[in-house]
Structure 1
Amino acid sequence: MDIYTRRGALALSLGSAAFAMGCGSKFVSYRGPEVTRVEIQKSNRAMYLFHHNVLLEPYQVQLGFTAAGPKQFEGDGKTPEGRYHIDRRNPDSAFFLSIGIDYPNAEDRAFAAAAGKPPGGDIFIHGWGDERRGRSSDWTAGCVAVTNREMKLVYAMVRNGTPVDIFA
Protein backbone atom coordinates (compact mmCIF):
# COMPACT_ATOMS: atom_id res chain seq x y z
CA MET A 1 0.00 0.00 0.00
CA ASP A 2 1.58 3.36 -1.01
CA ILE A 3 1.39 6.57 1.00
CA TYR A 4 -1.53 7.90 -1.03
CA THR A 5 -3.62 4.78 -0.41
CA ARG A 6 -2.80 4.96 3.29
CA ARG A 7 -4.02 8.55 3.27
CA GLY A 8 -7.48 7.32 2.32
CA ALA A 9 -7.45 5.01 5.32
CA LEU A 10 -6.91 8.03 7.54
CA ALA A 11 -9.65 10.16 6.01
CA LEU A 12 -12.21 9.05 8.57
CA SER A 13 -9.75 9.62 11.41
CA LEU A 14 -8.90 13.11 10.20
CA GLY A 15 -12.52 13.83 9.43
CA SER A 16 -13.38 13.17 13.05
CA ALA A 17 -10.37 15.12 14.31
CA ALA A 18 -11.21 18.60 15.44
CA PHE A 19 -10.23 21.31 12.99
CA ALA A 20 -11.80 24.41 14.49
CA MET A 21 -11.54 26.75 11.52
CA GLY A 22 -12.65 30.05 13.00
CA CYS A 23 -13.38 32.54 10.22
CA GLY A 24 -11.40 35.40 11.72
CA SER A 25 -8.81 33.46 13.71
CA LYS A 26 -5.44 32.41 12.41
CA PHE A 27 -5.20 29.69 15.06
CA VAL A 28 -6.98 26.35 14.77
CA SER A 29 -7.13 23.23 16.92
CA TYR A 30 -5.95 19.82 15.78
CA ARG A 31 -6.62 16.60 17.66
CA GLY A 32 -5.71 14.04 15.01
CA PRO A 33 -2.74 11.69 14.72
CA GLU A 34 0.62 13.14 15.75
CA VAL A 35 2.82 14.42 12.92
CA THR A 36 6.02 12.43 13.42
CA ARG A 37 7.86 13.60 10.29
CA VAL A 38 7.73 16.34 7.67
CA GLU A 39 9.12 15.53 4.23
CA ILE A 40 9.83 18.21 1.63
CA GLN A 41 10.63 17.20 -1.95
CA LYS A 42 12.13 20.17 -3.74
CA SER A 43 11.99 18.56 -7.19
CA ASN A 44 8.20 18.40 -7.24
CA ARG A 45 7.52 21.33 -4.87
CA ALA A 46 5.74 19.13 -2.33
CA MET A 47 5.58 18.85 1.44
CA TYR A 48 4.13 15.82 3.20
CA LEU A 49 3.10 15.49 6.85
CA PHE A 50 3.38 11.92 8.13
CA HIS A 51 2.28 9.96 11.16
CA HIS A 52 5.05 7.35 11.01
CA ASN A 53 4.66 5.97 7.45
CA VAL A 54 1.09 7.13 6.97
CA LEU A 55 0.54 10.29 4.95
CA LEU A 56 -1.68 12.77 6.79
CA GLU A 57 -1.56 15.80 4.49
CA PRO A 58 0.19 16.75 1.21
CA TYR A 59 0.88 20.37 0.24
CA GLN A 60 2.19 22.19 -2.80
CA VAL A 61 5.00 24.56 -1.78
CA GLN A 62 7.13 27.40 -3.05
CA LEU A 63 10.84 27.43 -2.23
CA GLY A 64 13.84 29.72 -2.33
CA PHE A 65 14.06 31.86 -5.47
CA THR A 66 17.19 29.91 -6.48
CA ALA A 67 15.71 26.45 -6.02
CA ALA A 68 18.47 24.29 -7.55
CA GLY A 69 20.98 22.86 -5.11
CA PRO A 70 21.23 22.97 -1.33
CA LYS A 71 21.51 26.14 0.73
CA GLN A 72 25.17 26.75 1.49
CA PHE A 73 25.64 30.44 2.26
CA GLU A 74 23.75 33.45 3.53
CA GLY A 75 21.87 35.19 0.73
CA ASP A 76 22.10 32.38 -1.85
CA GLY A 77 18.29 32.14 -2.11
CA LYS A 78 18.33 28.34 -1.78
CA THR A 79 16.29 26.03 0.42
CA PRO A 80 18.42 23.66 2.55
CA GLU A 81 18.64 19.91 1.93
CA GLY A 82 19.10 17.32 4.64
CA ARG A 83 17.69 16.37 8.05
CA TYR A 84 16.56 19.20 10.30
CA HIS A 85 14.02 19.69 13.10
CA ILE A 86 11.29 22.18 13.94
CA ASP A 87 12.82 24.33 16.67
CA ARG A 88 10.62 27.41 17.12
CA ARG A 89 7.27 29.00 16.32
CA ASN A 90 6.39 32.55 15.29
CA PRO A 91 2.72 33.47 15.71
CA ASP A 92 3.52 37.05 14.64
CA SER A 93 5.39 36.23 11.43
CA ALA A 94 5.47 38.73 8.57
CA PHE A 95 4.35 35.71 6.53
CA PHE A 96 1.18 34.98 8.57
CA LEU A 97 2.41 32.09 10.80
CA SER A 98 5.74 30.29 10.71
CA ILE A 99 7.58 27.35 12.22
CA GLY A 100 11.37 27.41 12.28
CA ILE A 101 13.75 24.81 10.89
CA ASP A 102 17.05 24.44 12.76
CA TYR A 103 19.23 25.27 9.75
CA PRO A 104 22.21 25.55 9.87
CA ASN A 105 23.26 22.30 11.48
CA ALA A 106 26.89 21.50 12.39
CA GLU A 107 27.66 20.18 8.89
CA ASP A 108 26.19 23.30 7.24
CA ARG A 109 28.22 25.59 9.53
CA ALA A 110 31.45 23.67 8.86
CA PHE A 111 30.92 23.80 5.08
CA ALA A 112 30.32 27.55 5.12
CA ALA A 113 33.24 28.18 7.50
CA ALA A 114 35.58 26.25 5.19
CA ALA A 115 34.56 28.62 2.40
CA GLY A 116 34.95 31.64 4.68
CA LYS A 117 31.28 32.59 4.37
CA PRO A 118 28.32 32.73 6.79
CA PRO A 119 25.82 29.85 6.39
CA GLY A 120 22.71 32.00 6.77
CA GLY A 121 19.74 31.06 8.89
CA ASP A 122 16.15 31.96 9.73
CA ILE A 123 14.71 29.19 7.57
CA PHE A 124 10.99 28.66 8.16
CA ILE A 125 7.92 26.91 6.85
CA HIS A 126 5.51 29.84 6.54
CA GLY A 127 2.43 31.26 4.89
CA TRP A 128 2.20 33.73 2.04
CA GLY A 129 1.64 36.75 4.25
CA ASP A 130 -0.45 39.67 3.00
CA GLU A 131 0.62 39.41 -0.65
CA ARG A 132 -1.42 37.53 -3.23
CA ARG A 133 0.79 34.92 -4.83
CA GLY A 134 0.47 32.18 -7.38
CA ARG A 135 1.67 28.63 -6.88
CA SER A 136 3.75 28.64 -10.02
CA SER A 137 6.95 30.41 -8.94
CA ASP A 138 9.49 30.18 -6.14
CA TRP A 139 9.89 33.44 -4.26
CA THR A 140 11.24 32.91 -0.73
CA ALA A 141 14.79 33.63 0.45
CA GLY A 142 15.24 29.91 1.23
CA CYS A 143 12.10 29.10 3.21
CA VAL A 144 9.21 26.77 2.36
CA ALA A 145 5.88 28.53 1.76
CA VAL A 146 2.26 27.35 1.69
CA THR A 147 -0.95 29.38 1.56
CA ASN A 148 -2.07 31.12 4.74
CA ARG A 149 -5.06 28.77 5.00
CA GLU A 150 -2.75 25.74 4.74
CA MET A 151 -0.33 27.28 7.23
CA LYS A 152 -3.11 27.40 9.85
CA LEU A 153 -3.25 23.61 9.71
CA VAL A 154 0.52 23.08 9.50
CA TYR A 155 1.06 25.35 12.50
CA ALA A 156 -1.55 23.41 14.50
CA MET A 157 -0.36 19.95 13.43
CA VAL A 158 3.46 20.17 13.57
CA ARG A 159 5.15 20.37 16.98
CA ASN A 160 8.62 21.55 17.98
CA GLY A 161 11.14 18.73 17.71
CA THR A 162 9.48 17.14 14.65
CA PRO A 163 12.08 15.92 12.12
CA VAL A 164 12.08 17.63 8.72
CA ASP A 165 13.69 15.80 5.79
CA ILE A 166 14.36 18.02 2.78
CA PHE A 167 15.26 16.20 -0.45
CA ALA A 168 16.54 17.60 -3.75
Structure 2
Amino acid sequence: MPKEKITLNRRLLLRRIFLFPVFTFSTFYFFSNSSGDTNTKPQKADLIVVWKKRRKMVLFHQSIPIREYSVKLGFNPIGHKIKEGDGRTPEGKYFIDRVNLNSKYHKSLGISYPNKADKEASREKGFDPGGDIFIHGGPRRNWLFNFFRDWTAGCIAVSDREIDEIVSLVSMGTIIYIYE
Protein backbone atom coordinates (compact mmCIF):
# COMPACT_ATOMS: atom_id res chain seq x y z
CA MET A 1 0.00 0.00 0.00
CA PRO A 2 1.45 3.40 -0.89
CA LYS A 3 2.64 5.57 1.99
CA GLU A 4 0.39 8.45 0.86
CA LYS A 5 -2.76 6.31 1.22
CA ILE A 6 -1.77 5.11 4.71
CA THR A 7 -1.20 8.70 5.86
CA LEU A 8 -4.57 9.74 4.45
CA ASN A 9 -6.34 6.86 6.23
CA ARG A 10 -4.67 7.78 9.53
CA ARG A 11 -5.76 11.40 9.13
CA LEU A 12 -9.36 10.35 8.49
CA LEU A 13 -9.28 8.00 11.46
CA LEU A 14 -7.83 10.69 13.73
CA ARG A 15 -10.45 13.19 12.58
CA ARG A 16 -13.23 10.74 13.33
CA ILE A 17 -11.81 9.83 16.72
CA PHE A 18 -11.38 13.44 17.84
CA LEU A 19 -14.25 15.18 16.06
CA PHE A 20 -17.00 12.69 16.87
CA PRO A 21 -16.94 13.36 20.64
CA VAL A 22 -16.76 17.12 20.05
CA PHE A 23 -19.66 17.00 17.60
CA THR A 24 -21.70 14.71 19.87
CA PHE A 25 -21.14 16.91 22.94
CA SER A 26 -21.92 20.13 21.07
CA THR A 27 -25.09 18.63 19.56
CA PHE A 28 -26.24 17.40 22.98
CA TYR A 29 -25.47 20.77 24.55
CA PHE A 30 -27.25 22.68 21.79
CA PHE A 31 -30.44 20.61 21.95
CA SER A 32 -30.56 20.39 25.73
CA ASN A 33 -30.00 24.13 26.10
CA SER A 34 -30.62 25.83 22.78
CA SER A 35 -29.86 29.34 24.02
CA GLY A 36 -26.52 28.31 25.48
CA ASP A 37 -27.45 30.06 28.75
CA THR A 38 -27.86 27.65 31.67
CA ASN A 39 -30.03 30.16 33.58
CA THR A 40 -32.69 30.37 30.86
CA LYS A 41 -36.19 29.30 31.88
CA PRO A 42 -37.73 26.56 29.72
CA GLN A 43 -40.28 27.65 27.13
CA LYS A 44 -43.93 27.57 28.21
CA ALA A 45 -46.04 24.95 26.47
CA ASP A 46 -48.77 26.22 24.15
CA LEU A 47 -50.11 22.75 23.27
CA ILE A 48 -50.39 19.36 24.97
CA VAL A 49 -50.95 16.14 23.02
CA VAL A 50 -51.75 12.77 24.62
CA TRP A 51 -51.65 9.47 22.73
CA LYS A 52 -53.53 6.95 24.86
CA LYS A 53 -52.36 3.80 23.02
CA ARG A 54 -48.73 4.89 23.31
CA ARG A 55 -49.19 6.11 26.92
CA LYS A 56 -47.34 9.31 25.96
CA MET A 57 -47.94 12.99 26.59
CA VAL A 58 -45.92 15.66 24.77
CA LEU A 59 -45.76 19.37 25.55
CA PHE A 60 -45.16 21.66 22.56
CA HIS A 61 -44.00 25.25 22.19
CA GLN A 62 -44.64 26.74 18.74
CA SER A 63 -45.03 23.23 17.23
CA ILE A 64 -41.71 22.07 18.70
CA PRO A 65 -41.80 19.28 21.32
CA ILE A 66 -40.25 20.51 24.57
CA ARG A 67 -41.07 17.64 26.98
CA GLU A 68 -42.35 14.07 26.73
CA TYR A 69 -43.81 11.96 29.55
CA SER A 70 -45.04 8.41 30.03
CA VAL A 71 -48.55 8.44 31.47
CA LYS A 72 -51.04 6.19 33.24
CA LEU A 73 -54.71 6.43 32.30
CA GLY A 74 -58.13 5.37 33.49
CA PHE A 75 -58.47 1.75 34.61
CA ASN A 76 -60.53 1.04 31.44
CA PRO A 77 -58.57 3.13 28.91
CA ILE A 78 -59.89 1.77 25.58
CA GLY A 79 -62.36 4.12 23.88
CA HIS A 80 -63.78 7.57 24.58
CA LYS A 81 -65.29 8.40 27.96
CA ILE A 82 -69.08 8.06 27.77
CA LYS A 83 -70.29 8.18 31.35
CA GLU A 84 -69.23 8.88 34.88
CA GLY A 85 -67.46 5.92 36.46
CA ASP A 86 -66.57 4.11 33.22
CA GLY A 87 -62.82 4.42 33.95
CA ARG A 88 -62.08 5.83 30.51
CA THR A 89 -59.92 8.81 29.64
CA PRO A 90 -61.79 11.16 27.28
CA GLU A 91 -60.68 11.75 23.69
CA GLY A 92 -60.94 15.06 21.87
CA LYS A 93 -59.94 18.71 22.07
CA TYR A 94 -60.03 20.36 25.49
CA PHE A 95 -58.14 23.05 27.39
CA ILE A 96 -56.57 23.45 30.83
CA ASP A 97 -59.24 25.14 32.93
CA ARG A 98 -57.91 25.02 36.51
CA VAL A 99 -54.83 24.36 38.63
CA ASN A 100 -54.81 22.70 42.05
CA LEU A 101 -51.49 22.98 43.87
CA ASN A 102 -52.82 21.09 46.91
CA SER A 103 -54.44 18.07 45.26
CA LYS A 104 -54.69 14.68 46.95
CA TYR A 105 -52.66 13.62 43.90
CA HIS A 106 -49.82 16.06 44.69
CA LYS A 107 -50.70 18.74 42.08
CA SER A 108 -53.19 18.73 39.23
CA LEU A 109 -54.26 20.54 36.07
CA GLY A 110 -57.96 20.40 35.25
CA ILE A 111 -59.07 19.41 31.75
CA SER A 112 -62.24 21.03 30.40
CA TYR A 113 -64.07 17.70 29.98
CA PRO A 114 -66.98 17.41 29.28
CA ASN A 115 -67.34 19.78 26.35
CA LYS A 116 -70.67 20.42 24.63
CA ALA A 117 -70.33 17.44 22.25
CA ASP A 118 -69.45 15.10 25.15
CA LYS A 119 -72.51 16.22 27.13
CA GLU A 120 -74.83 15.72 24.14
CA ALA A 121 -73.41 12.28 23.27
CA SER A 122 -73.74 11.05 26.86
CA ARG A 123 -77.22 12.43 27.40
CA GLU A 124 -78.44 10.87 24.11
CA LYS A 125 -77.51 7.51 25.63
CA GLY A 126 -79.08 8.42 28.96
CA PHE A 127 -75.81 8.84 30.87
CA ASP A 128 -74.18 11.53 32.98
CA PRO A 129 -70.85 12.33 31.22
CA GLY A 130 -69.00 12.81 34.50
CA GLY A 131 -66.26 15.37 34.94
CA ASP A 132 -63.23 16.23 37.06
CA ILE A 133 -60.67 14.92 34.59
CA PHE A 134 -57.13 16.04 35.45
CA ILE A 135 -53.46 15.64 34.66
CA HIS A 136 -52.05 14.84 38.09
CA GLY A 137 -49.31 13.23 40.14
CA GLY A 138 -49.54 10.16 42.34
CA PRO A 139 -51.85 9.59 45.28
CA ARG A 140 -50.50 10.48 48.70
CA ARG A 141 -50.69 6.82 49.76
CA ASN A 142 -49.77 3.65 47.84
CA TRP A 143 -48.41 5.65 44.89
CA LEU A 144 -45.63 3.17 44.04
CA PHE A 145 -48.01 0.25 43.40
CA ASN A 146 -50.36 2.39 41.31
CA PHE A 147 -47.67 3.47 38.86
CA PHE A 148 -47.23 -0.02 37.44
CA ARG A 149 -50.63 -0.05 35.68
CA ASP A 150 -53.48 2.18 34.52
CA TRP A 151 -55.25 3.09 37.73
CA THR A 152 -57.04 6.45 37.55
CA ALA A 153 -60.80 7.01 37.22
CA GLY A 154 -60.18 8.60 33.79
CA CYS A 155 -57.44 11.10 34.52
CA ILE A 156 -53.90 11.27 33.11
CA ALA A 157 -51.29 10.46 35.77
CA VAL A 158 -47.56 11.20 35.85
CA SER A 159 -45.01 11.15 38.67
CA ASP A 160 -44.99 13.91 41.29
CA ARG A 161 -41.69 15.22 39.94
CA GLU A 162 -43.16 15.36 36.45
CA ILE A 163 -46.37 17.14 37.49
CA ASP A 164 -44.21 19.75 39.27
CA GLU A 165 -42.46 20.39 35.96
CA ILE A 166 -45.68 20.30 33.93
CA VAL A 167 -47.40 22.82 36.23
CA SER A 168 -44.46 25.19 35.72
CA LEU A 169 -44.65 24.83 31.91
CA VAL A 170 -48.42 24.94 31.30
CA SER A 171 -50.76 27.92 31.64
CA MET A 172 -54.51 28.19 32.03
CA GLY A 173 -56.18 27.92 28.63
CA THR A 174 -53.49 25.69 27.08
CA ILE A 175 -55.09 23.43 24.46
CA ILE A 176 -54.89 19.67 25.00
CA TYR A 177 -55.66 17.04 22.35
CA ILE A 178 -56.26 13.51 23.60
CA TYR A 179 -56.09 10.81 20.92
CA GLU A 180 -56.73 7.09 21.00
TM-score by length of 1: 0.83
Aligned-pair CA distance for 1:136: 3.5
Aligned positions, number: 150
- Residue matched to 1:106: 116
Cα-to-partner distance string for 1:58-97 (whole Å, 9 max, x where unaligned): 0000000001001111110000000000000011100000
Change (3 A) 1:129 1:70: same
RMSD between aligned residues? 1.9
- Give the % identical residues: 39
Runs of 4+ residues deviating >4 angstroms: 7-10
Cα distance between partner residues in 2 of 1:8 and 1:142: 38
Mapped pair 1:12 → 2:12: no
TM-score by length of 2: 0.78
Mapped pair 1:45 → 2:45: no
> 1:20-31, aligned counterparts within 5 Å?
31=41
* Structure number with larger C-alpha Rg: 2
Residue ranges of structure 2 left out of the alignment (5+ in a row): 1-27
* Aligned 8 A contact 1:84 1:165 in 2: yes
Residue ranges of structure 1 left out of the alignment (5+ in a row): 1-6, 19-30
Structure 2 counterpart SS, 1:92: strand
* Aligned 8 A contact 1:86 1:100 in 2: yes
Cα distance between partner residues in 1 of 2:122 and 2:151: 23
Cα distance between partner residues in 2 of 1:73 and 1:115: 9
Structure 2 counterpart SS, 1:97: strand
- Residue matched to 2:78: 68
